[in-house]
Structure 1
Amino acid sequence: MEAEITYAEVKFKNASPTEEVEVTHVPQSCDKPAALQGNHTEWHCILAVHQGKGRDLKCCPEGWRPFQESCYYFSDNQMPWDKSQQNCSGMGSQLVVINTKAEQDFLYKEIQMKYQQKGKDFYIGLRAQKVGQWRWADQTPYNESAAFWRSGEPSNDPNELCVVIHHKTENLQNWNDVPCTTHSSRICETAAATL
């Protein structure tokens, strides 16, 4: 009986736990979310070091950015909030749910580095059914102490029930409520593959 051999060819740029590594082949047996299934041959990984438990790789396919336990996709095209959520869902993900200041900082830096000059705002997974009743796309309760609203926002306008990360800002406080029909880019999020 023949055994199938799978492997990962890993190129370490640096042994630091925060450095990215390139993986050119990911074993079919690894823990890959639905969004990451397919014929991806180029992966970006972060080496995760666990106290006393060794280390593993958190990987995302080409075009997705790894951070902690998740992969993030920054779209170039623009569409309304509902279509943005459907687009993310079609990739096995959802509009990003921001849980921590570290995650907000990561998203802010990505937008500043790559998209600020393009003048794009990005939908996140926060939406209200009624003014002030904010809810995340995955039904995570809204936590006001972990919100990053721009000064004067949310405006509590009944026509502005969806949220974008606004590109013109100098700090982490960059959320802005907008009409859900506004055409904006989006950030999708899914769990990273573990090697």
Structure 2
Amino acid sequence: MMNGPGRVSPGSAAPAEERGCSWLNIWVFLIFALSIKAAIVTLCLLVPFCHSSDQPSALQQQFSEWECDSAVPQGTDRGWMCCPKGWRRFQGSCYFLSPDTMSCAESAQNCTGMGSQLVVITSKAEQEFLSKQKNQDMQSDNLYIGLFEDDVDQWQWVDKTPYNATAAFWRKGEPSNILDENCTVIHVPEVTLNNWNDVIPTRKHHRICEAAAVIV
């Protein structure tokens, strides 16, 4: 019912062109929403770590390139274990062998700055793995690990893991307890599994940083 030229009374149907525009707007909105969802899904596939329930670790915040494989521990519903590109994975950890050398304190700070720590060795298997690792440009140098002497004969891992002298891998005659030798290195030239050596912290050596692998 028309109340006047070009006017529609309350309750009467809207013109056909207005109804058509309304349906068109809905379809445009749905297409736009689906496009956004598809883009998010694609991003999640390309960037491992797109899980809304997870907070990114310090390691994830430092690196943009990752290498992943499907070696996942039992009991998880995720399909990949990832380390930053260039790091080496063993079991549930990622390891970085530095190409440059630093003092003991600088090495610890460098690892922390990458969202990791100087390596903490907790098993014979891990010691065997690390003893076989070597950078191509590393001829006969040492690698700092995260074991420090707080006091005389009081050794402490950087993450406060209890130190077990019976599960340590010191070279024969080490630790020597020489004054100021309160940092620990893996002695690269040593061919046996017992290759830890206490050193003066100002000496510059390579380092091994460790962080938990990211499971996605």
TM-score (norm 1): 0.81
Q: CA deviation at 1:41?
A: 3.3
**Partner of residue 66 from structure 1, selected from 68, 89, 96:** 89
Aligned to 2:80: 57
Maintained 8 Å contact 2:66/2:82: no
**Partner of residue 121 from structure 2, selected from 98, 101, 105:** 98
Q: CA deviation at 1:116?
A: 8.2
**Partner of residue 131 from structure 2, selected from 93, 98, 108:** 108
Q: CA deviation at 1:44?
A: 3.9
Q: Which has the larger radius of gyration?
A: 2
Matched, 1:145 2:166: yes
Q: Which has the higher strand share?
A: 1
**Partner of residue 79 from structure 1, selected from 90, 102, 106:** 102
Maintained 8 Å contact 2:131/2:193: yes
Give the unaligned 5+ runs of structure 2: 1-32
Give the unaligned 5+ runs of structure 1: 10-24
> What stretches of structure 1 move > 3 A for 4+ residues in a row?
6-9, 53-56, 114-117
Q: CA deviation at 1:170?
A: 1.2
Aligned to 2:197: 176
Distance 2:49 2:78 in 1: 17
**Cα displacement string for residues 39-67 of structure 1 (whole angstroms, at most 9, x for unaligned residues):** 6234143512527x666322101111111
Matched, 1:133 2:157: no
Maintained 8 Å contact 1:77/1:185: yes
Name the SS for the 1:50 alignment partner.
coil
Aligned to 2:51: 29
Q: CA deviation at 1:156?
A: 1.3
Change in Cα spacing, 1:154 to 1:39, as seen in structure 2 (3 Å) is closer
Distance 1:117 1:39 in 2: 24
Identity %: 44
Maintained 8 Å contact 1:33/1:190: no
Name the SS for the 1:48 alignment partner.
coil
